[in-house]
Amino acid sequence: MSQDISKIDKNLAITTSLDLPDVKFYDAREEIFDIYGLYKPHEGTQFRRMPMDVASTVSDGVAFLSKQTAGGRLRFSTDSEYVAIKATLPDASRMSHMTAVGAFGFDLYEDCPPEQGKTSYFRGAYIPWITVNEFESVIHFGSRKKRYFTLNFPLYGGVGDLYIGLQNDATLEGGRKYSNKRPVVYYGSSITQGGCASRPGNSYQGFVSRTLDLDFINFGFSGSGKAEEPMVDYLCSLDMSVFVADYDHNAPNAEYLAPTALNMYKKIRAAKPDMPYIMMSRPDFHRGIDTLHSQESIDRRQAIIDAYNYARAQGDGNVYFIDGEGLFRGDYEGDCTVDGTHPNDLGFSRMAKSVEATLRRVMMRSNILE
């Protein structure tokens, strides 16, 4: 059991406005918690997705956005009747077309034991209570038993301190482990980052992760996923099981997309010769009546297909292509976005279905569940 530092130094006691007389708070950076999707999460004063010295060499956008915690997850187990959360949010991004809980809030899932399979959203997200970028909330379960949890971090907010509050006599242990030891890495745009899911767990990677029990890292950078050389070099250095290239939206045009998509494939393939590599084109292929069959969308998709065809011509049998034109297809396909570009929850669930199908093929052919 963790040492209660407040008994040693009263100045470090964690205060709360929550009406919980028996609460004990734990720092999320304690080793008892399993943290996924973030860079060295048990260190530092703010959670990050990649090292600042690398992010700053990519672009100002990536340097700023790397402090936003899209894809970050905290896993643990406890028999507490409730879970409280207390956090500081130094970079709470408020947007008119995205919910507060999606942008800078948290949501909680209960993870069933592996033999039972399913992970399910627990009733009620952590709707932010904000005062000067501080956040407190609590979810009660109505009974005490051991439960496994995943707490999803904000998609667009930054998180400084994070504390988990449990009953003071409750057990606290590690969370459920993912089936893959090496994460799936997604690289791309604001859509990849999760804009505009209603809550963090509804990014397309969140759907995929829960369905296939896969760990992942989200390197979606709004307006800033452009496959620059320093970013590609960093991606090459990562220990990952699958790579998903989803940055079509941030390439300025097809003329930029064609050489960078090919260059990124070549460099990552040289570093990871046996790793499955997935290429995606943007999902909003039809962007309104006036651009129903826009040449721009066609040219962009062709640039990615050309990179895919190059890979196949080299004998690469472990490269895959997902056509964005079909990602929203089905009933209500015109209702899959918030603003004509960024998916809502329906759009993200449609994207997840296609990515899941491809990853199932990958899992059948490649040993990623080590």
User: One fold for both 5-174 and 184-365?
Assistant: no
pLDDT of residue 288 exceeding 80: no
Nearest residue to 355 via CA among 279, 260, 266, 265: 279
| Token pair in block for residue 123 | 């009733």
pLDDT one-digit tens code per residue, 106-128: 999 999 765 666 777 776 667 66
119: CB partners within 8 A, 6+ apart: 109, 110, 111, 112, 150, 210, 213
pLDDT one-digit tens code per residue, 26-36: 999 999 999 99
Cis peptide before 196 (omega within 30 of 0): yes
Please name the residue that has the structure tokens 């100045």.
11
pLDDT of residue 132 exceeding 80: no
Instruction: Provide the percentage of residues in the chain whose pLDDT is more than 70.
Output: 89
pLDDT one-digit tens code per residue, 206-251: 999 999 999 999 999 999 999 999 999 999 999 999 999 999 999 9
**Interatomic CA distance for residues 205 and 211, integer angstroms:** 10
Domains of the chain by residue range: 5-174, 184-365
Q: Identify the pLDDT of residue 11.
A: 38
Q: Identify the pLDDT of residue 133.
A: 82
Q: pLDDT band for position 364 (50/70/90)?
A: confident
Q: Beta strand pairing status for 319-322 and 277-280?
A: parallel
pLDDT one-digit tens code per residue, 143-163: 999 999 999 999 999 999 999
Q: Which homologous superfamily is 184-365 in?
A: SGNH hydrolase (3.40.50.1110)
SS3 labels along 122-157: CCCCECCCECCCEEEEEEECCCCCCEEEEEECCCCC
**Interatomic CA distance for residues 155 and 81, integer angstroms:** 27
The answer to whether 278 and 208 are in contact (CB under 8 A) is no
Per CATH, domain 5-174 is 2.60.120.260: yes
The answer to whether 76 and 149 are in contact (CB under 8 A) is yes
Q: Identify the pLDDT of residue 368.
A: 72
Q: Identify the pLDDT of residue 9.
A: 40
Q: Beta strand pairing status for 82-88 and 162-167?
A: antiparallel
What's the average model confidence in pLDDT over 353-368?
91
Residue type, 284: D
290: CB partners within 8 A, 6+ apart: none
With b for 16 or more beta-carbon neighbours within 10 A and e for fewer, the 200-233 pattern comes to bbbbbbbbbbbbbbbbbbbbbbbebbbbbeebbe
The mean predicted confidence, pLDDT, of the chain is: 90
Report CA-CA distances (Å) from 96 to 61, 223, 315: 20, 17, 47
**Interatomic CA distance for residues 212 and 202, integer angstroms:** 15
What's the average model confidence in pLDDT over 348-362?
97
Global pTM reads 0.93
Report CA-CA distances (Å) from 217 to 135, 178, 313, 325: 25, 13, 29, 25
In the 8-state DSSP scheme, what is residue 342?
Answer: S
